[in-house]
Chains A and B, each alone.
Chain A
């Protein structure tokens, strides 16, 4: 077990007309080495939730434990927590500030107080892990393309070598190819290092292919928390909250309605292909 939330509530601007109950009694556990998809409609509280995981936002009520230790207990080392739970914000490219990409990526590890050599080593490794082209290492971060900026920003967090990597909509605003490249890179990183990953998204399509557990948020509460195929079984409920199952799930259902003997609980194209071939007897 690495992160555990117990009855977490969070209210923005309490006591004013703008009061928003963003998280309602959220309890969940993020196990070591898991690949979790956090999904929900716009405004469902995903970003708020992930900011709790590294202590950036303090819950209005409830407890959060990291490796069994209450992070709200007095004297808890928040900075250490933040280096172990890396959070990549939505549109992270807006936080780049250094004169070149490499120096920017060094910012995180430098704040950890490492030696210069170690800092550079980590920055180099992180940039390589996200597939950042080496010829752009010493470019100004402001001259890069959207996808490259995104990679540089993710590397900036990875360079701290966190145990848990949280990505808040890492593919927002990217084209389909850029999206797939980034997600593939993250999946590869996960495979190679065994790091725990929480991937925030509002598209099932993106997530279905990679994660082994899906948490669905709706208006600040956890609605489903299960393996993908179980979650996609609730198509009607998902649609009611503005989400949808992946398209293959719909196709399989349509095929089944037409009388083909296929299982409908598939989540990826590959599975669907196998299932259809099987039904056709090939």
Chain B
């Protein structure tokens, strides 16, 4: 049940996108997200969609798999849409009772939905094609200049990689504890909110205990292997740009160029 959430999970496959340097993917994702908020025309979203579809095709991750991950945020999406739809002032389109839908509201709601969907697919594409280790390696390398201003870059990267590593483990654990309590007659589904919240105690207590136990074990294991922070630490596989990475940057540049162009002229309303 819980492991069906694909957000932030790695999908094993052989593809160009998988092989790209994580820094390229990070920069690409950030640029892509920024580009989504630059448009105020539908044409721009066509460009964004085309770009996304090409990358998805290249990545070898089944589209079905990504859509399944989206299910988790459908509610959030709908909520945003509803708020935008009803609460944006402007030229009235439909009115019933106290609710008015305005032309601007409709427009913003649709933009918002497209933006969020693309944003989530785009960023989950990054985590789907990059192992957590690679991702944090890339992040550490990209943020390296910040060390000069005393930002604990290595520590942040290490924390992130551990957190990411723990997500699937804790999900599995949740699943197991839930089943074990259901086997003892626990009921997580029925009842009102208060009852439901109370029913979570038998799940949350063991989960926290186990999370702390794991954290403790991990800290111990790291110290036993002489981990002392990032100072003087070398990598087994240092990140190195290859030809394909520069190519990818070039394509990315093209995309940004097109985006800026569309923004400038705005071909359609």
Contact = CB atoms under 8 A, between A and B. Distances in A.
Contacts of B210: 94
Nearest to B209: A142
Interface centre among A83, A95, A112, A156 (most CB of B within 10 A): A95
A111 interface: yes
Secondary structure class of chain B's binding surface, majority of residues: helix
Interface stretch (B88-96, B103-111, B200-208, B246-254): B200-208
Given A95-B206, A160-B185, A17 B13 contact: yes
Contact of A79 (B4, B64, B179, B185): B185
Contact of B185 (A13, A83, A89, A95): A83
A108 B180 CA distance: 11
Given A17-B13, A107-B184, A142-B209, A94 B179 contact: no
A82 interface: yes
Interface in A4-51: 13, 15-17, 51
A94 B177 contact: yes
A45 to B, nearest CB: 16
A89 B183 contact: yes
Nearest to A91: B176
A87 to B, nearest CB: 4
Interface residues of B, number: 25
Given A13-B3, A94-B177, A54 B183 contact: yes
B206 A107 contact: no
A56 interface: yes
Interface string B22-49: 0000000000000000000000000000
Contact of B180 (A13, A95, A111): A95
Contact of B179 (A51, A107, A111): A51
Contact of A87 (B4, B13, B183, B205): B183
Contacts of A107: 181, 184-186, 202
A86 B206 contact: no
Nearest to B201: A97
B184 to A, nearest CB: 4
Interface in A76-102: 79, 82-83, 86-87, 89, 92, 94-97
A96 B180 CA distance: 10
A231 interface: no
B11 A111 contact: no
Nearest to A96: B206
Nearest to B184: A108
A157 interface: yes
A56 B184 CA distance: 11
23 contacts: A13-B4, A51-B179, A56-B179, A56-B182, A56-B183, A79-B185, A79-B187, A83-B185, A86-B183, A89-B176, A94-B176, A94-B180, A94-B209, A94-B210, A95-B180, A97-B209, A107-B184, A108-B185, A111-B186, A111-B187, A112-B185, A156-B184, A157-B183
Interface of B: 3-4, 11-13, 64-65, 173, 176-177, 179-187, 201-202, 205-206, 209-210
